[in-house]
A and B are shown apart, each in its own frame.
Chain A
Amino acid sequence: MIPMPNLDVLGFLVLATFAVLCGLSVILQKHAVASALSLVGVMGSLAVLYLMLGAEFLAAVQMIVYAGAIMVLFVFVIMLLNSGSERPAKARYFAYLVGIPSLLAFLGVISFFILKELPNTSSVQFGAFTQGGPAPVGRLLFTQYLLPFEVTSLLVLIAIIGAMVLAKKEID
């Protein structure tokens, strides 16, 4: 009997791998559309990870808002501007020589931190945490976080107006 692999572990590994690959694709693809689609891939896998973490509502929102709205907008703009591939880069020694090593150092240190400071985190099991449905989230959103919620709505309104004003072709 082949030991039934734990679906939680398997799912995580598959999704994480997929997310990382897509992430790499985002930053390495020459073309913006490819990057965008890779980003959708990251988001999709993250949505499933959210599901595994018990955040059902967020998973759906992740797909609807991020993948379905924001990224569509990105794709739309990319198509609209119809920009080709990037030109071959001018040498950016500063970013490469300083930025990347610093980034690796950053990643290393923060991973070290996570492992050192959080050695005994609970293990993730699908369905172990069920408070992520729409009802609890909505309840908290409209009670404790009502003010931020309203402020956010205002922010979105302003963003809409701002985007319209910005994108409008100047008439004169």
Chain B
Amino acid sequence: MMLPNAVPVSWYLILSAILFSMGVAGFLIRRNIITVFMCIELMLNAVNLSFVAFSYELKKIDGQLFTFFVMVVAAAEAAVGLAIILTVFRHRMSLEIDDVSSLKN
């Protein structure tokens, strides 16, 4: 197997894109609210990776700080989101995203 001598940053970016797309795909096809939520986290992680990769590329740590903020906000989001899911579950006894469609009307 021929391995390259070094990994360019763009590979990291592509990895990020792949992970992001997988997150989106999960969002599209999954039906459990919690899983869908986790897919969002996956997307955030993918984006974080690209931030860090760019930080490396540019040799500036601002990108890492953005990642840091993303993480903190994700934590907040998870807390609130899970609380909402709990409430939803309490009211509907279901975690199926198809059952939660009050927006329809």
Contacts and interface: CB of A to CB of B under 8 A. Distances in A.
Given A19-B19, A49-B49, A27 B29 contact: yes
B34 A107 contact: no
Contacts of A140: 61-62, 65
B89 A81 contact: yes
Contacts of B28: 92, 95-96, 99-100, 103
Contacts, number: 250
Given A12-B7, A19-B15, A159-B76, A62 B32 contact: no
Contact of B9 (A90, A123, A137, A169): A123
Contacts of A164: 83
B79 A137 contact: no
**Chain A residues touching B, majority SS:** helix
B64 A137 contact: yes
Interface residues of A, number: 88
Interface string A1-41: 00001101110110010011001101100001001100100
A129 B75 contact: no
A70 B52 contact: no
B64 A156 contact: no
Interface in A57-95: 57-58, 61-62, 65-66, 69-71, 73-74, 77-78, 80-81, 83, 86-87, 89-90, 92, 95
B15 to A, nearest CB: 5
Contacts of B48: 46, 58, 62
Given A23-B19, A166-B84, A49 B12 contact: yes
**Chain B residues touching A, majority SS:** helix
B8 A123 contact: yes
Contact of A8 (B7, B41, B77): B7
24 contacts: A6-B3, A8-B7, A23-B22, A43-B45, A50-B52, A55-B56, A58-B52, A58-B67, A61-B71, A62-B48, A65-B74, A66-B74, A103-B25, A110-B17, A114-B13, A118-B10, A121-B10, A124-B12, A129-B56, A137-B61, A141-B65, A159-B76, A162-B79, A163-B82
Interface of A: 5-6, 8-10, 12-13, 16, 19-20, 23-24, 26-27, 32, 35-36, 39, 42-43, 46, 49-50, 53-55, 57-58, 61-62, 65-66, 69-71, 73-74, 77-78, 80-81, 83, 86-87, 89-90, 92, 95-96, 99-100, 103-104, 106-107, 110-111, 114-115, 118-119, 121-125, 129, 131-132, 136-137, 140-141, 145, 148-149, 152, 155-156, 158-160, 162-164, 166-167, 169
